[in-house]
Amino acid sequence: MKWLANLARWFGDRFLPRYRAQFVEDLPDHLRKRRVYLVGEEGAAWQAALLCPCGCEAHIQLSLVEKDDPSWRATVHQGGLVTLHPSIWRIKGCRAHFFVRRGRIAWARDSGIALPTGHH
């Protein structure tokens, strides 16, 4: 059944949102979907920003400064795919709780939003 796995991967690559990094010196006013903005200088970003993946369009801004609390770590993989660590949990608004791993969104079970099926 290898062909089935390959087919699933083919579809997954095309239809699942993949978050890719974009290095910027200043955060733009309008953020694009499926993009993680890394603000600062390449290799020395101090802030990450993205639109909430639940669709509520909230701007999420994360500190990448180690001494800040909370702070996150951003890793950029081949192809610009991004991993953010730890998970992101909005305590306001939609209360989305999710992981960004290699450009993919993984929803936490305790996420406060109504999730589309198949996104656990």
Chain positions contacting Zn ion, by CB under 5 A: 52, 54, 56, 94, 96
Minimal distance, residue 92 CB to Zn ion, in Å = 10
Cβ-based nearer residue to Zn ion, 60 or 76:
60
Q: Which is nearer to Zn ion, 52 or 81 (CB)?
A: 52
Least distance from Zn ion to the Cβ atom of residue 31, Å: 13
Min separation Cβ 61 and Zn ion, Å: 14
Ranges of beta strands (E only) in 25-77 are 35-41, 44-51, 59-63, 73-76
Tokens standing for 117? 């099926």
Q: Which is nearer to Zn ion, 52 or 76 (CB)?
A: 52
CA distances from 77 to 2, 64, 94, 101, 109 (A): 26, 17, 28, 10, 26
